[in-house]
Amino acid sequence: MKIKAILLLAGLMMCSVACLSNKKQTAYEEDVTYDYYRNDHYGYTVVYPLFLIPEGEGREDGQTFIADDGVSNMQVYQTEKAALSLEDAYRKDLEGRNASEKQLEKNFYRMVWKEGKNTCTQYTILAYGSFYELVFKYTPQNASRFEAVIPVIVESLMVDGLGREDDEDPDGFIAFLFDFLDVCFYEKNLNRLIRDKDPRLASYIDSQMGLQRYYAPGAVAYLAGGDRNFGFNEYDDFTFEPSSAGEISVTELPDGKSACELDFENEGEVYYESVEKVPDVVVNTETLETKAVVLPYPDAEIRVVYVPNKYHSPVGLYFILTPDGWKFVFIDDTLCGA
């Protein structure tokens, strides 16, 4: 099975949002932590800052997130807009609004207007024949806070078309994986995030298991967690940032094919397979005796995802289905003699 997800405004937004918003990026010192919202019915995912509280899905198409002042908020939803074209929808939404900023592009439009003293910002994106909207409303007191996070939220919006009715992702792994790759892998250096214990990883790591790394400084592979700096040393790569070029493709590894046969010429392509267990760990370097890694969830589903390193060789990312959903538990940097 091969599934693609479109990172709708990645790359383009680096200019169109960042360039248009830079003049408003006033210094805001809060360290912002994000979680993600997944709409299974319409197959889209977006991050939201934890200073916004989700109200719950009162309707199938989306959700509202409210700030602590009770006024400032973010709304995300899918809408058909009565089968209008993107340009027609843009002109219709402009009616009655004295927009201070407006922008129409190939696959999205953006506008900013005032409601009293409050600022409203709307992004409407066209994907798979439907419109997806992000609407932000914020008070003057919350302006700096919202203007700092809006570009992050907008760039995170990802539509994969995997609605619940499609039955193509019954355990939610594909949707979870698309989100993980977007937030923690593409245009980032995963080793650096792990080494620095970056907060972006926090929601993907199980509190009982933590995260561990298989590494091989020589002929023998070892396993290390955060207490031993994950086995990293000065020669490990902390600079390579793979690019998806705006599109991630996830393919189940064909039967009989080895991860070492994979060609990562296109960095946006990743592969996965289900496995019975994670790799054993060496306990005696002289006899090369190994033992199994014991997991706190003995009957849990395990999937390994193969992504490229800077040499386009595979790195294994292990995910386990825990009572709290899929979690990132191991990274294997020892594949194929790496």
- For 54-109, the three-class secondary structure string (H helix, E strand, C coil) is ECCCCECCEEEEECCCCCCEEEEEEECHHHCCHHHHHHHHHCCCCCCEEEECCCEE
- 244, 250 Cβ separation under 8 angstroms: no
- 161, 174 Cβ separation under 8 angstroms: no
The answer on pLDDT for 12 being more than 50 is no
- The one-character DSSP state at 30 is P
pLDDT at 93: 95
**Long-range contacts of residues 222-230, Cβ cutoff 8 Å, at least 24 apart:** 222/281, 222/282, 223/281, 223/293, 223/330, 226/197, 229/195, 230/194, 230/195
pLDDT band at 87 (very low <50, low <70, confident <90, very high): very high
pLDDT at 283: 83
Q: How far apart are CA 39 and CA 46, in angstroms?
A: 9
pLDDT at 9: 55
| Nearest Cα to Cα of residue 310 among 169, 191, 230 | 191
The phi, psi pair for 216, rounded to 5°, reads: -135, 90
Q: How far apart are CA 241 and CA 184, in angstroms?
A: 10
The answer on pLDDT for 23 being more than 50 is no
Q: What whole-number percentage of the chain has pLDDT above 70? A: 87
Mean of pLDDT values over 88-92: 94
Q: Which two tokens mark 223?
A: 């396993």
Relative to beta strand 247-252, strand 269-275 is: parallel
Q: How far apart are CA 113 and CA 20, in angstroms?
A: 15
Q: Give the model confidence (pLDDT) of 171-224 as tens digits.
A: 888 888 988 998 899 999 999 999 999 999 999 999 999 999 999 987 788 999
Stretch (H or E) spanning 174: helix 173-180
The answer on pLDDT for 62 being more than 60 is yes
- 48, 32 Cβ separation under 8 angstroms: no
Q: How far apart are CA 219 and CA 285, in angstroms?
A: 10
SS3 19: helix
Q: Give the model confidence (pLDDT) of 92-102 as tens digits.
A: 999 999 999 99
Q: How far apart are CA 14 and CA 155, in angstroms?
A: 8
- CA torsion 205-206-208-212 (nearest 10°) is -40
- Tokens 């908020």 identify what position? 73
The answer on pLDDT for 22 being more than 50 is no
